[in-house]
Amino acid sequence: MSIVVTGGAGFIGSCIVAKLNEMGMEDIYIVDNVNTSEKWMNLRNKKYIRYYHKDEFLGELPKLSGITAVIHMGACSATTELDFDYLYKNNYLYSIALWEYCAQKQIAFLYASSAATYGDGTEGFDDREDIKRLMPLNRYGYSKQIFDLWAEKQNERPAQVIGMKFFNVYGPNEYAKGRMASMIYHGFKQVKENNCIKLFRSHKEGYADGGQLRDFVYVKDICDAIVYFVEHPKVNGLFNLGTGHAESFKTLAESVFIAMGLEPNIEYIDMPMDLREKYQYFTEANITKLRDAGYDKPFHDLKQGAADYVQNYLQQNFKVW
């Protein structure tokens, strides 16, 4: 029994490997594009069979045997990426190639979609609704949407198909994500440097400064849900993975200060112009479908997740899980 984890040196992927290792599983193939990035540090404490560069893996895949699941986290996850051709090749065509392999071999295929597919939220955030109505706000969200649409139409399918619409994930091992790392990570660094967290002012009526709302979900909860899917092969479908409860960036910032034992000190700044027209002011996962599929484990609320992340990882010299 072996599992392939693409994006296995990245944020969510390396946490999945950590979770599998904790469960005693070491027969793991990691696929990524580490290159000169700091993602290699996420691999130092992991147990796995082999690392493959993503560009060589598809050619090597037919030579592997005993694979029972492909957990496909590998993608360009930058919501600000402007190169559509790159997104199309990396997020869409690569996913199709893995799907077709899993369908041929009749093994499980679990893949990362995104809450970015929901666009501005006017169509809601319900994974039980028709996904053809969704209008993503950026190229990244669209690259995820077109694969969801492609997958929906396929007759030849893997033994199990799970698509996961991740909401705002935060937690250990995101340290190499740069601008795309969570606000908890950036907020912690701001406090250490300036004893202050800077949040965006609101540029939309009805939302106070720092009152923009997100469904912030702890990466450990994501990993628990993925393990549940792997252990329940009869579960199939496209699922939201969030807490089901939106919280404000102001609450997030306050949670970081509380976790650090400090009084909140928040400053508001203008949002960059390149983000304003494509900025989501509200996201909240409807997780009824997930609960109906039998997953009943509670999610960390923002204060709980921030406390664990800050105290056990960020304050421990950016410890890797």
Q: Which residues are catalytic?
A: 140, 177
Amino acid at 135: M
- Residue (of 78, 165, 60, 159) closest to 115 by Cα position: 165
SS3 56: helix
Q: Is 294 exposed, middle or buried (0-12, 13-18, 19+ CB in 10 A)?
A: exposed
Residue with tokens 């082999």: 50
What amino acid occupies position 149?
L
Angstrom distance (rounded) from CA 162 to CA 71: 9
Tokens of 68: 């029972």
Q: How far is CA 295 from each of CA 107, 171, 228, rounded to the nearest angstrom? A: 22, 21, 7
- Give the whole-angstrom CA distance, residue 268 versus residue 188: 16
**DSSP-derived 3-state class of residue 170:** strand
Non-local CB neighbours of 189 within 8 Å, separated by 6+ positions: none
Spatial contact of 304 and 258, defined as CB atoms under 8 Å apart: no
Picking from 216, 215, 182, the residue whose alpha carbon sits closest to that of residue 283 is 215
Q: Provide DSSP, 12-71.
A: HHHHHHHHHHHTT---EEEEE--TTSGGGGGGTT---SEEEEHHHHHHHGGG---EEEEE
DSSP character string of 249-276: HHHHHHHHHHHTT----EEEEPPPHHHH
**What's the CA angle centered on 115, arms 114 and 118, to 5 degrees?**
120
How far lies 97's CA from each of 59, 166, 239, 247, 284, in Å? Answer: 11, 22, 22, 37, 31
